[in-house]
Structure 1
Amino acid sequence: MRATISRIAREAGVSTATVDRVLNGRDGVRDRTRQIVEQVARDLGYYGLPTGEAKTARLDFVLPAGPNDFMADLRRHLFEEAQTLTGVEINVHQIEGFDHDRLPERLRSLEGRTDAVGVVALDHPKVREAINALAASGVHVGTLISDIPSTRKVGYVGIDNRAAGRLAGLLMGRFVGGSEPKRVAVFIGSPAYRGHEEREMGFRSIMSEDFPQIRIAHIAEVRDDRERAFEETRRLLAEDRIDGIYNIGSGKRGIARALRAARRDQDTVFIAHDLTESTKPMLLDRTIDAVIDQNVRVEAREIVKLLLSSVRGSVEPEYMPRLQVIFRENIPTS
Structure 2
Amino acid sequence: MSASVHRLGSRPPASLDPMVAVTAHDMNCVNAVILDRMQSDIPLIPKLAGHLIAGGGKRMRPMLTLASASLLGYGGTRHHRLAAAVEFIHTATLLHDDVVDGSDLRRGKRTANIIWGNPASVLVGDFLFSRSFELMVEDGSLKVLKILSNASAVIAEGEVNQLTAVRRIDLSEERYLEIIGAKTAALFAAACRIAAVVAERPEGEEAALDAYGRNLGIAFQLVDDAIDYVSDAGTMGKDAGDDFREGKMTLPVILAYARGDAEARAFWMKAIRDGDSSDAMLAEAVRRMQDTRAVEDTMARARHYGQRAIDALGPFSSGAAKDSMIEAVEFAVARAY
TM range (shorter): under 0.3
- Using the size of structure 2 for normalisation, the TM-score is 0.24
Of structures 1 and 2, the larger Rg is shown by 1
Higher relative contact order (CA 8 A, sep 6+): 2
| Higher-strand-fraction structure | 1
| Higher-helix-fraction structure | 2
